[in-house]
Amino acid sequence: MTLFVGLSAFPITPMTPAGEVIAPDLRRLVERLEAGGADSVGLLGSTGTYMFLSRDERRRAVATAVGAVTSTPVIAGVGAMRTDEAQTFARDAAGEGAAGLLLAPVSYTPLTEEEVFQHFLAVASATDLPLCIYSNPGTTNFTFRSSFVARLAAIPTIAAIKLPLPASRDVAADLADFRRAAPGLSIGYSGDWGCKDAMLAGADCWYSVAGGLFPQQAADLTAAAMRGDHEEAERCDAVFAELWKLFRKVGSLRLMYAAANMLELTDAQLPKPLLGLEQGLRERLVSALPV
């Protein structure tokens, strides 16, 4: 079992307009990830629209994903507005067979570092599962400084961090900063268009949105970058070039739902109030798919 290393592929969570998980569709997506060579399944991340799901549906999603794989570990997102709810989601995920947890400091009111620390301490203590810090300042309004991550890393079950691409665009320097602060943590990145460079710089994991639909292509890129093969990594990354342009233009969530529909993997639509892609972007997406 490989956890927080290599390619962690994040699928959408197909659901009905009433917020009920469409289990056969989710199972199909997760089976595709294992067959494509993903090292782990990143379930119920932002791409998995976890904040739109009830407790029962989150638990059902974890059970479905765990039941769909034979050896690929499932990392389950457990973010919630309240600490006690996040603890409950963590225990539910553990009970359904998740191998690890992913936690973002979700809050309507921006949190202080002490509030985030106490939140992570409580959730990490709710189970024995290894936990990955989910740094997503664009949605949580909280930025994890490397010195603060060093403090969190002292919590026994915290094992990894999922970082966004740095604003400086110098991912090698950013990685080195976090390595110095928390040398025991697995350090990985999201922001698919920059993850080739992150993996070539020595990051441990690529937390990939595109990998949630195109695992084979993403696994090839990950493997090339992890063995330091710059030429092959560039070739594999070029397959995604047009998709990366769209990701940077409009974000990835709406694109992944539209792509899943185009590939006939599910008919599920985005949960309201989110709306689908406008026609012009749909037409661009057709030619951008790495298939």
Question: Is 134 marked active-site?
Answer: yes
Active-site residue (options: 50, 162, 189, 257): 162
Q: Are 175 and 143 in contact (CB under 8 A)?
A: no
Annotated binding site: 47
Paired strand residues for 158:
131
Annotated binding site for pyruvate: 47
Closest CA to 251 of 174, 189, 193, 169: 193
Active-site residue (options: 134, 189, 207, 257): 134
* CA 106 to centroid of chain Cα atoms: 15
Q: What is the 3-state secondary structure (H, E, C) of 4-70?
A: CCEEEECCCCCECCCCCECHHHHHHHHHHHHHHCCCEEEECCCCCCHHHCCHHHHHHHHHHHHHHCC
Closest CA to 162 of 183, 185, 133: 133
| DSSP 8-class letter at 231 | H
Question: Which residues are known catalytic residues?
Answer: 134, 162
